[in-house]
Chain A
Amino acid sequence: MSKKHISTVINGDAMEFLASPEQSLLDILRDELELTGSKEGCGTGDCGACSIMLDGRLVCSCLVLGVEADGKNIDTIEGMGNGSDMHPLQKKFLEHAALQCGICTPGILIAAKALLEKKPDPTEEEVRYWLAGNLCRCTGYDKIVRAVLDTAADMRAA
């Protein structure tokens, strides 16, 4: 089947690619655009390792088709910092040792950032339910939740 020409803005830069109709946006990001920060843990929307922002909405990029991204804005882990420094969440994750192997980390950071943009003052329970779609098998979630709550507190104070 013939490929479709797709125009997007990824992490602020205009990017074009050719997508075959069945290719997921995650495959496009990883295999065509070499943005391998988004991970594939399942390919079925169950692990959240592929989380990205699509026009400001948190989605599993494994469940979005590449062709659906036409004309859309995409934000991935590669664009999370501001170009010269890391996002406060990234720093807090390091400070709190909120990662062990780190495979879930990009997806969790993207999801956590989306939460704090919506809700700068989340409760522990809200953080836990918001992140329920992001599996982490290493940490038991404790340090992740603490890092998110601590970032939220810092960002509110700033």
Chain B
Amino acid sequence: MNDMTQTNLQKDLKIVGTRPLRPDGADKVTGRALFGADKSLPNMLVGRVLRSPHAHAKIISIDTKAAEALPGVKAVITSKDFQDLPSEFVPAGEMMVNFKDMTRNIMAREKVLYEGHTVAAVAAINDAIAEEAMALIKVEYELLPHVMDVEEAEKPNAPLLHDDMITIGVEPAPKKPSNVAKRVEFGFGDLDKGFKEADLIIEKKFSTQPVHQGYIEPHACLASVSEDGQGELWVTTQGPFVVRNFCSKILGMSTSQIRVTASEIGGGFGGKTVIYLEPLALALSRKACRPVKMVMSRQEVLMASGPTSGAKIWVKIGVKKDGRITAGDAVLKFQAGAFQGSPIGPGAMCAFAPYEMTNVRVVGYDIVVNRPKVAAYRAPGGPISEYAVESVMDEIAQKLNLDPLELRLKNAAKEGTQAPYGPKLGPIGMIETLEAAKAHPHYSAPLGPNQGRGVASGFWFNIGGETCTSININEDGTVGLTLGTPDIGGSRASMAMMAAEELGVPMSTIRPIIGDTSSLGFNFLTGGSRVTFSSGMAVVESVREIIVELRKRAAQLWDVSIEKVEWVSGHARLVGSENPKSLSLRELAEAAGKTGGPIVGGASINATGAGPSLATHIVDVEVDPETGRTTVLRYTAIQDAGKAIHPSYVEGQMQGGAVQGIGWALNEEYVYDDNGKLLNPGFLDYRVPVCSDVPMIDTVIVEVPNPKHPYGVRGVGETPIVPPLAAVSNAVSRATNIRFNELPLSPPRVLAAIESR
């Protein structure tokens, strides 16, 4: 069932929209909460990974004998311990994964394809012995030329990563293999006609660097497979069910043989939707018949997990004098890393999505290079393509002498607009966020010398997906709520709030937990900003179902038909009587034994109808002409949440996404040497924004309800990282009077541009 009426959009809400304390809060401020690396088991071994020192090489041989013979070493694994898998695509978050690639990414087979690629793993009684064992593993490599950049990689004579890769999406199919995995195209209308109608055309190339999600908690897990083949996995992940399914496929175990329990998760942002250590820990544990714990170092996280794509982008936009867009064209080339699967699809779909387009085309290429395979990162693809379009929009505004918000208002997508990727949009908040930006005092505040103000908008779809929850009325009338989507930023609070609102009881009587994979049916992962939307829908449906059951129980006790019982403010009430009889949840729970046993319920849905969330950000910067350093002076993020269940956590998403975007725009980048080796695999040199780098991030929540959700929720987690890249770049461009088209806007780059002005 997926047809929830908006019964709650208008009604007086008691709990939804307030700011209660989160149920898992005390554990998190006292150090009690257990994250991925915080759990241990008796008789546990430590697992370590031997990684490739080369960016691209053939594996000639691996000799593990000496390592295996070392006292204290209990298991050594290589690709020989994993079956090969055929090419098969399955969805993971907003991206697709392929099992042939996945098994090669978790453990290299024929070749290593990036520095840090796993070639073997060891389980030993302690770290020192594991370390010693790794040094004893002899790997013979034949070095191959490597390629790091998309424009180099697509050349006909470029080193080939996969000699069987034929570009998908090209008709007729190319005869020869290349590094171009896929071509996508979206759009409609007549571009030639559109550009002919234009009074001004701006065409420009952009480049962005790959950036890492930068979660503070490294990947970690603890696996235990017993002699009878039953496996347990404790892991920091956004999707325990997805991890279970990936691992069972890779290890040839049945789904029921692996029970996955999600630990508290120390940030993910998309990066914990895939697997790295998990199948290795399970395989080592299976071999050693002992529990195995594996934790990545920060260096391993940066070398071998994530990031999102670096890209080259070309954009051409034509406008009339009054600013109305007549045509938009773009070509995107995304780094996929070592295996296909960059977010080129969503990137291409989003590029012009904030606007009402009549003639539009976006072509995208997914290109493999000798870098770690990219993983989802918050609105995957969106920030990259929209950065380029929003930069051109700003230049158009400057050239036409139009206010950049007015230019956007003139072209804003609204309900009924055909999105560049096909469907007609439902109600969306693009206009509302632009109007809110215009009205915000920030927008009219004065600027000083060397200062500039940038604005940009952003679009992200959000997703729904398979979700189920269960609910129990405890013996004293309190409520247990079991969810299948890990809580990455306060979702237990918003689920408990919606349940309490529906049931008409105080939130404190509801205890939400995240269930393991054996306690619930399948749940798709936490990602795509889908949790408050989808799990929220499942929670509301479970509660509505259990209210029917509660009315039935009351009807039984009163010996009336269920139609005679209504549910009001946490009580069953006899309809119509002058002095209505009523039974509290507690009384019904206490009488459950007499009315048919425990009162339990649950819901299972495949949520559709997630509503796109739009945002507009305003940022003021000051650029130091002596050093090229950019300081962010003031920042305002405005976003349509549909409905903010817990406004503090909505604001938190907006603020966190904005600051990640500031890092992407100003600092973050990978530096590789000529041999394809990463020179900055640590937080000292891969510099994410620190507290003193940023100002307060003001927020304005706009609420244009999503008609498909009982409370109007859209999902808010991803959109906030879309606008900042262009907003910051536009601000720097206006502060310096130089149009920038490359990120990051690091001091040397900005200074060089200022000096050659």
Contacts and interface: CB of A to CB of B under 8 A. Distances in A.
A71 interface: no
Nearest to A134: B691
Contact of B652 (A30, A137, A138): A138
B217 to A, nearest CB: 4
B551 to A, nearest CB: 36
A49 B216 contact: yes
Interface string A99-113: 111111110010000
Interface in A68-85: 76-78, 80-81
Given A39-B35, A101-B488, A143 B652 contact: yes
A58 to B, nearest CB: 15
Interface string B283-305: 00000000000010110000000
Contacts of A127: 691
Interface stretch (B265-273, B457-465, B508-516, B593-601): B265-273
A141 B657 CA distance: 11
B692 A97 contact: no
Contacts of A106: 29, 31
Contact of B688 (A97, A137, A139, A143): A137
A139 B694 CA distance: 12
Contact of B29 (A30, A86, A137, A140): A86
A128 B689 CA distance: 12
A100 B38 contact: no
A36 B692 contact: no
A47 B683 contact: yes
B638 interface: no
A95 B652 contact: no
Contacts of A43: 297-298
A45 to B, nearest CB: 8
A103 B35 contact: yes
A25 to B, nearest CB: 16
A141 B659 contact: yes
A122 interface: no
B489 interface: yes
A97 B683 contact: no
Interface string B357-400: 00000000000000000000000000000000000000000000
Contacts of B682: 42, 44, 46
A132 B692 contact: yes
B26 interface: yes
B549 to A, nearest CB: 34
Contacts of B424: none
A47 B216 contact: yes
Contacts of B295: 40
Interface stretch (B17-25, B96-104, B621-629): B17-25
Interface in A104-158: 104-106, 109, 124-125, 127-129, 131-146
B655 interface: yes
A30 B488 CA distance: 23
B216 A145 contact: no
Nearest to A110: B31
Given A86-B26, A137-B656, A137-B688, A78 B31 contact: yes
Contact of A95 (B21, B32, B488): B21
A94 interface: yes
B538 interface: no
Contact of A39 (B266, B656, B690): B266
A118 B610 CA distance: 49
Interface in B625-679: 646, 648-649, 651-653, 655-660
B440 interface: no
A118 B651 CA distance: 31
Given A42-B683, A101-B489, A139 B216 contact: no
Nearest to B650: A97
Contacts of A146: 696
Given A46-B682, A97-B649, A103-B266, A140 B694 contact: yes
B62 to A, nearest CB: 28
B298 A90 contact: no
A55 B434 CA distance: 53
Contact of A145 (B21, B28, B691): B691
B87 interface: no
A40 B297 CA distance: 9
Contacts of B684: 44, 46
B31 A76 contact: yes
B217 A101 contact: yes
Interface residues of B, number: 59
Contact of B696 (A31, A49, A142): A142
A49 B607 CA distance: 37
Contacts of B548: none
Contacts of B30: 37, 77-78, 80-81, 86, 90
A41 B216 contact: yes
B31 A104 contact: no
Contacts of A138: 267, 489, 652, 656
A44 B683 contact: yes
Given A86-B26, A94-B21, A105-B28, A100 B688 contact: no
Given A44-B682, A101-B266, A137 B214 contact: yes
B264 interface: yes
A41 B217 contact: yes
Contacts of A78: 30-31
Contacts of B24: 102
Nearest to A103: B266
A38 B489 contact: no
A30 B128 CA distance: 17
A72 to B, nearest CB: 20
Contacts of A96: 648
Contacts of A37: 30-32
Nearest to B33: A102
Contacts of B129: none
B526 to A, nearest CB: 11
B297 A145 contact: no
Contacts of B489: 100-101, 138
B31 A145 contact: no
A86 B213 CA distance: 32
A99 B651 CA distance: 12
A31 B659 CA distance: 33
Residue from B298, B646, B692 with most neighbouring chain A CB atoms (10 Å): B692
Nearest to B28: A102
A109 to B, nearest CB: 6
B202 interface: no
Contacts of B558: none
Contacts of B144: none
10 contacts: A37-B30, A37-B32, A42-B298, A44-B682, A44-B684, A90-B29, A128-B692, A138-B656, A140-B655, A141-B655
Q: Which 9 A-B pairs have the closest CB atoms?
A: A37-B31, A103-B266, A102-B28, A140-B655, A140-B659, A97-B648, A46-B683, A100-B489, A77-B31
Interface of B: 19, 21-22, 24-26, 28-35, 37-38, 40, 128, 213-218, 264-269, 295, 297-298, 488-490, 646, 648-649, 651-653, 655-660, 682-684, 688, 690-694, 696-697
